[in-house]
Structure 1
């Protein structure tokens, strides 16, 4: 059997760009490169089901609820395991090669680690991921942009971000995008991606008015439920349009709310959600000002109340 590399990545632009950079760097060293998309709640399950040969995990936070299981699964794997991420990491991972830095995109971290294996022109792939994840303020990004026309790079990042958002769980198409980027192709050169980006732009424009009409404000928190568009954008719009420190967008999935939260400094959403998740036995966490959670619907009011209390103590 040939040498295999498994890449487990988040399905957003930063994760897709990270996966593309890993694939490009190791294309000649492995006979087979497998791409799978996952998220914090399912990371351990997907690792156990999909991991073969050497494994790169990129841009996927480890949910504290499953931390012990993750450490056990990673350490038991017979191949090499490399974990590259920029979300807060609360514990060590024995036997795993960890590349971790908050404040920089995962795609930037991958590029910096593998730069010796990649032509310099691949810096634009890392830039697409960094821009899409609001991580375009680092020293590396500023320096890397110097060799490009930043207007073109930002345009391509927008096409990629919007198109992938519209593709949602079409993992086969996302694998196609990874392959295209691994050959350093421009996102706008993929007709389907360009079409999806245009569709998503129209959805986003309609979402602005919907959030303005439907957002509810409770204390210092503005929220919407079941928005007709991306949860992250809806949370950002709720926060901004209602001039609240925190915006939440929740989507019903059975008896659970899947949520995106956005905040303005100094509200640390990751600190709040990780504490809330530990105490309530749910899943939650992310970055300081952009995070996610999954809670039973009947716990939503409690979350909003406790979040207001958290904000009032700052």
Structure 2
């Protein structure tokens, strides 16, 4: 029996659900399962700090700026590494077991990869993650939903998404959520998660009005800065409430902006990965939903490039 399984996961609904699927499927084969949360910029650093035994990396994109560091960390590791992800992958990962597919959630991929070890009832864990990442129209999701009343599944996915958003960087609590889901218990059965979800719902409702009042339109791009709520939601609301092609939400952190972008037509991942290479910043994600970190003065430049693709002026 291998002694330790390490899981490195993103801290959103898809990442937490993916980690729960991995733990539920494999826990009986290990003496210990240790779950840590990371994100693209810190993946190499966190891998080197926490990797022990067999390692599963789930729902963590490989950032353009740190891709070589990640490759080196994976390559120099002496144990087994499994990488399960759905973000566009621009680097080879020699020696790593890669489970990758754009268009499906990481939790779906984890379940399809490991689901043969689990009772069918565990499919709902993967469904929560798929819904949380707006990837609920795949063939697998549509088939899996037929085993459930979708209204129940969507409610539980909403509780999970909202509660995790409110929990922010409380990694100990998120580990407890992974354990809860790995036992195939619904999110609504976790009292603190329900309370946090209710709090986040109120924050989100206030955010709708704030974005409507504060979004500024720059050609085909709507921008909000320092929104009092989730960046991803703020970007989506900025796009939707203004009718813009692209929504950008930026949060000041010292001399940089942490940004979330949303669009229906512009390939945000492609633009931001190219932008990251040219300016030495971090950026990427999905075609319609992506993130970036860059010095504040580059916000104007990235908006100009977005406009050139979106047909704005």
What TM-score do you get using the length of structure 2 for normalisation?
A: 0.98
1:130 matched residue in structure 2: 130
2:2–2:29 CA contact under 8 A, matched in 1: no
In 2, Cα distance between the equivalents of 1:145 and 1:258? Answer: 35
CA displacement at 1:311 relative to structure 2: 2.1
1:277 matched residue in structure 2: 276
1:293 matched residue in structure 2: 292
SS at match of 2:240: helix
Deviations 1:237-295 (A, max 9, x none): 00000000000000001101000000012x10011101111101100000000000001
Aligned residues: 312
In 2, Cα distance between the equivalents of 1:153 and 1:162? Answer: 14
In 2, Cα distance between the equivalents of 1:213 and 1:181? Answer: 38
In 1, Cα distance between the equivalents of 2:186 and 2:36? Answer: 22
Q: Does 1:35 align with 2:35?
A: yes
Q: Does 1:139 align with 2:139?
A: yes
In 2, Cα distance between the equivalents of 1:2 and 1:133? Answer: 32
Matches within 5 A, 1:193-204: 193-204=193-204
CA displacement at 1:310 relative to structure 2: 2.5
Q: Does 1:15 align with 2:10?
A: no
Matches within 5 A, 1:198-277: 198-265=198-265, 267-277=266-276
1:4–1:53 CA contact under 8 A, matched in 2: yes
In 2, Cα distance between the equivalents of 1:181 and 1:252? Answer: 34
2:257–2:294 CA contact under 8 A, matched in 1: yes
CA displacement at 1:312 relative to structure 2: 2.7
In 1, Cα distance between the equivalents of 2:131 and 2:137? Answer: 9
In 2, Cα distance between the equivalents of 1:41 and 1:243? Answer: 31
2:168 matched residue in structure 1: 168
In 1, Cα distance between the equivalents of 2:26 and 2:307? Answer: 47
Runs of 4+ off more than 4 Å? none
CA displacement at 1:2 relative to structure 2: 6.6
Gaps of 5+ in 2: none
Gaps of 5+ in 1: none
1:59–1:84 CA contact under 8 A, matched in 2: yes
Q: Does 1:24 align with 2:24?
A: yes
2:191 matched residue in structure 1: 191
1:149 matched residue in structure 2: 149
In 2, Cα distance between the equivalents of 1:288 and 1:116? Answer: 31
1:2–1:32 CA contact under 8 A, matched in 2: no
When the two chains are superposed, the root-mean-square deviation of aligned CA atoms in Å is 1.1
1:311 matched residue in structure 2: 310
SS at match of 2:30: coil
In 2, Cα distance between the equivalents of 1:98 and 1:2? Answer: 20
CA displacement at 1:211 relative to structure 2: 0.2
Deviations 1:125-148 (A, max 9, x none): 000000111000000000000110
2:2–2:53 CA contact under 8 A, matched in 1: no
In 2, Cα distance between the equivalents of 1:212 and 1:28? Answer: 50
In 2, Cα distance between the equivalents of 1:21 and 1:2? Answer: 19
Deviations 1:70-129 (A, max 9, x none): 111101111100000000001210000000000000000000000111111100000000
In 1, Cα distance between the equivalents of 2:53 and 2:212? Answer: 49
SS at match of 2:251: strand
In 2, Cα distance between the equivalents of 1:307 and 1:135? Answer: 24
In 1, Cα distance between the equivalents of 2:306 and 2:142? Answer: 35
SS at match of 2:102: coil
SS at match of 2:222: strand
Cα 1:140–1:2 shift into 2, 3 Å = closer
What TM-score do you get using the length of structure 1 for normalisation?
A: 0.98
In 2, Cα distance between the equivalents of 1:142 and 1:191? Answer: 29
